[in-house]
Structure 1
Amino acid sequence: MKSIKDQLKSIATELDKGNLVVASVSKKGTYWHLDHSLRVIEGVLETLITSKPEDFSPRINFWKKIILLTGYIPRGKGKAPKQVVPLPEISKDDLLKRLESIQVLLSKSENTHKKAHFNHPLFKDLNKKQTLRFLRIHTHHHLKIIADINKRAN
């Protein structure tokens, strides 16, 4: 699986292809998947950066273990929280601005404590290492959907 930085380069490449929709693969177009992925990265990194390490509360969670271990998210099983659901109209310029914002957040996140954390709705507290792995897995999941859309669109 690619690093987050490499995944962001892939996202930038996908932007140039335009917004493709193939309903047999996904009801959402490629820009929806890109925007959703970027919103997740942005929000999670902001949370990680502002978290207080002393508030980290690790818990054993079956789904967290399975997904972080396998690196696989099944399609069609999750529901995105409303704060990471894209708006109906998504422009390439908006996505490029979000990409720029994420570059700054990535730099800031490198200096966070190892117990900096993100509270996932299903997995609960993820430490810095787990959070960054989750972001790679989640982004990979959406990039695979986009790749399938691209295959069917051509």
Structure 2
Amino acid sequence: MTKLQLILDQLGSHIPDFEKTNPVVSQSTIGWQIDNSLLVINNVVDRLKDSDSKNYKWKFNKYRILIRITNTIPRGKVRVPKSVKPIDVATIEELKTKLELARKNIADIPTLPANSYFTHPFFGDLNVKPAIWFLKLHTKHHLKIIEDILNK
């Protein structure tokens, strides 16, 4: 869990730059990148908490296997689901509030049954261990975009 918390700390460190953008890298601001990441973390943990672990069933998924092998999300290939697409530009205060909720949610993950799960639109059902992998991967993806916005 500590790796995910460290990644979350990195994400939070970019909140002061929330208005910065670089159209060569992304049409979205750093704030949007942070907001999307926090929405994903909080929604995934909510789904894990709400799931009935008795209903979890592992299924083979070629997309999940491919992304696990490469351990990277290709840029610009996937549309953001509406449930985690920031609609308005979040303020610094809103981002800080979502960040604190994400910290609390991440701290709650170890208390969940191992087969608590959420359904990813491409990867299918992910129980706790693969869900943590996904949250790290997704957040690192947005951190790379943020770094590129700042450095290019």
Matched-pair contact (CA < 8 Å) for 2:120–2:126: yes
Map of 1:74 onto structure 2? 74
For the Cα contact (< 8 Å) 1:68–1:130, is it kept in 2? no
For each residue in 1:94-127, what CA deviation from the matched residue of structure 2 results, as whole angstroms up to 9, or x when unmatched?
0000011112211221111111111101111011
SS at match of 2:17: coil
In 1: Cα distance, 2:60 partner to 2:18 partner: 41
CA contact 1:117–1:131 (8 Å) conserved in 2? yes
Q: Is the 8 A contact 2:47 2:117 kept in 1?
A: yes
Q: What TM-score do you get using the length of structure 1 for normalisation?
A: 0.94
* Pairwise CA distance, 1:88: 2.5
Q: Deviations over 1:29-72 (max 9, x none)?
A: 11101000000000001111221111102110001111123210
Q: Is 2:99 aligned against 1:99?
A: yes
Name the counterpart of 1:57: 57
- The code of the aligned residue for 1:55 comes to N
Name the SS of the counterpart of 1:27 in structure 2.
coil
Secondary structure of the 2:23 match is: coil
**CA-CA distance at 1:145 after TM superposition:** 0.4
Number of positions where the alignment pairs a residue of Structure 1 with one of Structure 2: 151
Identity %: 31
Letter in 2 for 1:90: A
- Report the alpha carbon displacement of residue 87 of structure 1 after superposing the two structures with TM: 2.0
Is this contact kept in 2: 1:118–1:127, CA < 8 A?
yes
Contact 1:119 1:126 in 2 (8 A): yes
Stretches of structure 2 that go unaligned for 5 or more consecutive residues are: none
- Alignment match, 2:85: 85
Give the aligned CA root-mean-square deviation in angstroms: 1.2
Q: Once superposed, which parts of structure 1, at least 4 consecutive aligned residues long, lie more than 4 Å away?
A: none
Alpha-carbon distance in 2 for matches of 1:68, 1:40: 18
Whole-angstrom distance in 2 between the partners of 1:82 and 1:51: 20
1:130: how far off? 0.4
Amino acid at match of 1:144: K
Distance 2:131 2:30 in 1: 24
Counterpart CA distance in 2 for 1:10 and 1:65 is 27
Q: TM-score, normalised by structure 2?
A: 0.95
Partner in structure 2 of residue 9 of structure 1: 9
